[in-house]
């Protein structure tokens, strides 16, 4: 169980509470195109408001690289958040983030008020976790709450440094939920436990594969990663994604799976094309028999059935990474089949953020999953068993 202080253990009445959220939402021409991260932050904010805290929110947005970039301002988030909360969220427009405007806005706060600071990455110190900006952030508040799971694998001023300079710190509800779901799934799964990994690179998921092999009953590998395994089995992958320097590792992992008695499933067929584009003519061939000049862009129909069958009996499923180039409608069927299989079973189903979360939401299965993580990189590091700096820095219980 979580050994960290949570918002339920805080006395916030009349106090300034700085909350690190993850409001890094996609924007198109100043309009928010996916507000999941904003709605995910609401429970913590509402709790602190109801308890009479003066709630100061902060977040990064995109990569302004340490200088003010108007197109990466959090102003649109303040507006939308205000609508969702039914109360004005004062936007502390301030290029220094904690400059005169922010300080003035905070000084005026009444209990239950909400202020949102400007994009923390307008300051170059933020990503270097430098003390001066951490101290400035902390100077606004008595208590710090970290509810930004998506950046908890990074040690920045607003996730780690700030905790050194406040009296008290805790994790928010979203962070608590993420840690409990991901943690329970891996440490305490109801079996059978099936993990599905996809996406482009084996090298990004080396440690996850290695650790999950200690935990799961079945490990499914699809997507661009699968071709390195195919080569490890002596297959031919044409122009498909391949990490030649990871072939030996892939062999080791298959050996480990055997030793551990893990059912290790790879695609048995592959949808291939000669060009990397949606309308490229395609055909399906057995895995490991991809001709030169062709590349695998999705798992084939037999593989979809094989994987869906394995998911069918599962009681816990964790999925990270698409099965194919799902951004192209014509090569999204494999990813869709996994989402559908997970949506239709009576089991704990967890989506490890990033592309698979986007795919599940896009395909309309979002509300069928037990938990969709808000952090791709963070959930992967968590599944690897790494301690997340943003969590470690918060007060213990
Ligand atoms: P990652 O960031 O490693 O999770 O990978 C996600 C990306 O992998 C997505 O953008 C997919 O389009 C891509 N991907 C999945 N399968 C393939 C494939 N067979 N060939 C090329 N890219 C792929």
**For residue 1, what pLDDT band results from cuts at 50, 70 and 90?**
low
Whose C-alpha lies nearest to ligand 1, atom 11? 325
| Secondary structure of residue 246 in the 3-state scheme | helix
Any idea which residues carry the catalytic annotation? 37, 201, 354, 377
Query: Per-residue confidence at 371, pLDDT binned at 50, 70, 90?
Result: very high
Say how many Å lie between the CA of residue 223 and the centre of ligand 1.
6
CA distance 34 to 117: 21
Yes or no: say if 61 and 119 are a contact pair by the CB < 8 Å rule: yes
* Helix (H) or strand (E) run with residue 308 in it: helix 301-312
Provide mean pLDDT across the span 42-59.
98
Q: Does domain 183-383 have CATH number 3.30.230.10?
A: no
SS3 144: strand
Average pLDDT on 259-269 reads 98
Q: Is the pLDDT of residue 355 over 90?
A: no
Q: What percent of the chain clears pLDDT 70, i.e. is strictly above it?
A: 99
* CA distances (Å), origin 167, targets 104, 111, 131: 22, 19, 16
% residues pLDDT > 90 (the chain)? 88
pLDDT in tens, 188-246: 999 999 999 999 988 889 889 999 999 999 999 999 999 999 999 999 999 999 999 99
Task: Please enumerate in sequence order all residues whose Cβ is within 8 A of that of 86, keeping only pairs 6 or more positions apart, or say none.
Answer: none
| Secondary element (H or E) of residue 359 | helix 354-362
Q: 332 C-alpha vs ligand 1 centroid, how far in Å? A: 11
Atom of ligand 1 nearest to the CA of 325: 12
Q: Where in the chain is the domain with CATH 3.40.50.1260?
A: 7-172, 183-383
Task: Enumerate the β-bridge partners of residue 271.
Answer: 284, 298
Q: Is the pLDDT of residue 182 over 70?
A: yes
In a 13 Å sphere around the CA of 215, the CA atoms on its Cβ side amount to 25
Task: Give the SS3 label for residue 56.
Answer: strand
- Mean pLDDT (the chain) is 95
Q: State pTM to two decimals.
A: 0.88
Ligand 1 pocket test, candidate residues 196, 197, 199, most atoms within 8 A of CB: 199
283-299 residue pLDDT tens: 999 999 999 999 999 99
| Spatial CB neighbours of 218, under 8 Å, sequence gap ≥ 6 | 192, 193, 194, 195, 262, 263, 264, 265, 310, 314
Atom of ligand 1 nearest to the CA of 326: 12
CATH 3.40.50.300 fits 7-172, yes or no: no
Question: What are the pLDDT digits (tens) for 322-344?
Answer: 999 999 999 999 999 999 999 99
Whole-angstrom Cα distance, residue 75 to residue 170?
26
Give the integer Cα–Cα distance in Å for 103 and 101: 5
């Amino acid at each position: 169980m979580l050994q960290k202080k949570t918002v339920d253990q805080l006395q916030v009445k009349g106090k300034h509470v700085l909350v690190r959220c993850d409001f890094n939402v996609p924007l198109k021409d100043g309009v928010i195109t996916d507000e999941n991260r904003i709605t995910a932050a609401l429970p913590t904010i509402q709790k602190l408001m109801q308890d009479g805290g003066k709630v100061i929110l902060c977040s990064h947005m995109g990569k302004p690289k340490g200088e003010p970039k108007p197109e990466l301002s959090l102003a649109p988030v303040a507006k939308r958040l205000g609508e969702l909360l039914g109360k004005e969220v004062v936007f502390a427009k301030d290029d220094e983030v904690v400059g005169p405007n922010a300080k003035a806005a905070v000084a005026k706060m009444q209990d239950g008020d909400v202020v949102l600071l400007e994009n923390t990455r307008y300051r170059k110190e933020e990503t270097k976790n430098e003390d001066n900006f951490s101290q400035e952030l902390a100077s606004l508040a008595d208590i710090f709450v970290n509810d930004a799971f998506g950046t908890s694998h990074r040690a920045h001023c607003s996730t780690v440094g700030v905790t050194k300079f406040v009296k008290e710190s805790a994790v928010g509800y979203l962070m608590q939920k993420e840690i409990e779901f991901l943690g329970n799934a891996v440490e305490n799964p109801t079996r059978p436990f099936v993990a599905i990994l996809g996406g482009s690179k084996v090298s990004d998921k080396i440690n996850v594969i290695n650790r999950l092999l200690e935990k799961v009953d079945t490990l499914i590998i699809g997507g661009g990663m699968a071709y390195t395994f195919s080569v490890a089995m002596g297959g031919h992958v044409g122009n498909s994604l391949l990490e030649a320097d990871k072939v030996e590792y892939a062999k080791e992992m298959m050996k480990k799976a055997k030793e551990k008695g893990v059912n290790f499933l790879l695609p048995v067929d592959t949808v291939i094309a000669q060009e990397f584009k949606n309308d490229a003519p395609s055909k399906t061939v057995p895995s490991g028999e991809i001709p030169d000049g062709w590349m695998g862009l999705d798992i084939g129909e037999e593989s979809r059935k094989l994987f869906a069958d394995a998911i069918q009996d599962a009681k816990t499923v964790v999925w990270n990474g698409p099965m194919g180039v799902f951004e192209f409608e014509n090569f999204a069927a494999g990813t869709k089949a996994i989402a559908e299989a997970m949506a239709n079973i009576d089991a704990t189903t967890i989506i490890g953020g990033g592309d698979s979360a986007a795919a599940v939401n896009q395909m309309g299965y979002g509300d069928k999953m037990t938990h969709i993580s808000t952090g791709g990189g963070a959930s992967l590091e968590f599944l690897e068993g790494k301690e997340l700096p943003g969590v470690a820095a918060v007060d213990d219980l």
